[in-house]
Chain A
């Protein structure tokens, strides 16, 4: 801290405002879409389970909110050892 800072001490209110705006933007979005991600996650899991045995932990579903659009990321890892019932038929 230099000497000038003592005279030019700026309040902390702008920091408070900025933090709140960021936080509330996030909280409002998650409030408006109650658990969309977890609903999707469950349904995707159910579809996959019909064909392949995959552990819950190998499915990652996340939502990235942008300005105008949002990106839904689904990452499914299927272990190589798991036998595919469909493939076995051929």
Chain B
């Protein structure tokens, strides 16, 4: 039985889809069978980030409504044969997803894959609640910024009350993934520190992804950052986070700022 992990945040634009792709690819690279499921019906983007936007034929709504088989809708990654994508529908809205339908799809995926990553839409409405509904674990993507932390706290409340696990009296395993962390700004006290975020959310840390141009570049070319640029700091941070997700006890190292003398004199930030 595979593990179902929801990647969620409440707030939009914090890096849920990027993180789903990066973590999923990092786990798949170790040989595990991984399915990435896009729950953002109407505003799908995981296909674009994965570089599979031109290969989408069927989607999760087709599978739920019985117009396509799950095996027809799953897209195998061209770079990693253990990595699959189940795209969301772009033309429907979130009401096209039913709880029974989602339960059925997740059950089937769980029996075939080692990991099922559910990329949640932003918000706390139906789509987000269905994405987390059958999860065993949750990755809460948070930016070190007040509104993101507040929304993460709200999502943690929902994870503890609205998931199947919570309703059965068990607790869902939660991890915070801090993205777009800017070491220089944190050092200057301009950005919430990791300790601040963890203390406020009282949830263990999965990893710290430094703000990086490489993440944007990976999105531009449609390849998860852990596949296309696997030596840069952001990719390494994602790979480490994926290893922790698999249960490895790996210490989190706070990103530091690398600046040359000239940068320091001119007050320039490292990219």
Contacts and interface: CB of A to CB of B under 8 A. Distances in A.
B196 interface: yes
Contacts of B191: 11, 13
A20 B124 CA distance: 19
A36 to B, nearest CB: 16
Interface in A18-34: 19-21, 23-24, 27-28, 31
Contact of A27 (B153, B190, B192): B153
Question: What class of interface size applies to chain A in its complex with B?
Answer: 10 to 19
A24 B155 CA distance: 12
B200 interface: yes
A71 interface: no
Given A13-B196, A17-B196, A21-B200, A28 B189 contact: no
B55 interface: no
Secondary structure dominating the interface of B: helix
B200 A12 contact: no
A23 B152 CA distance: 13
B157 A20 contact: no
A19 to B, nearest CB: 7
Contacts of A13: 186, 189-193, 196
Contact of B189 (A14, A20, A27): A14
B189 A12 contact: yes
Secondary structure dominating the interface of A: helix
B116 interface: no
A10 interface: yes
Given A24-B153, A31-B157, A11 B189 contact: yes
A16 B150 contact: no
A23 B189 contact: no
A23 B150 CA distance: 8
Contacts of A27: 150, 153-154
Given A20-B150, A23-B150, A28 B192 contact: no
Contact of B149 (A10, A20, A28, A31): A20
Contacts of A24: 150, 153, 200
A20 B146 CA distance: 7
A16 B157 CA distance: 21
B188 interface: yes
B146 A16 contact: yes
B10 to A, nearest CB: 12
B153 A16 contact: no
Interface of A: 10-14, 16-17, 19-21, 23-24, 27-28, 31
Interface of B: 145-146, 149-150, 153-154, 157, 186, 188-193, 196, 200
The 7 A-B pairs at the shortest CB distance, nearest first, are namely A11-B189, A11-B190, A17-B196, A13-B189, A16-B146, A24-B153, A31-B157
23 contacts: A11-B188, A11-B190, A11-B191, A12-B189, A12-B190, A13-B186, A13-B189, A13-B190, A13-B191, A13-B196, A14-B189, A16-B145, A16-B192, A16-B196, A17-B192, A20-B150, A20-B200, A23-B150, A24-B150, A27-B150, A27-B153, A27-B154, A31-B157
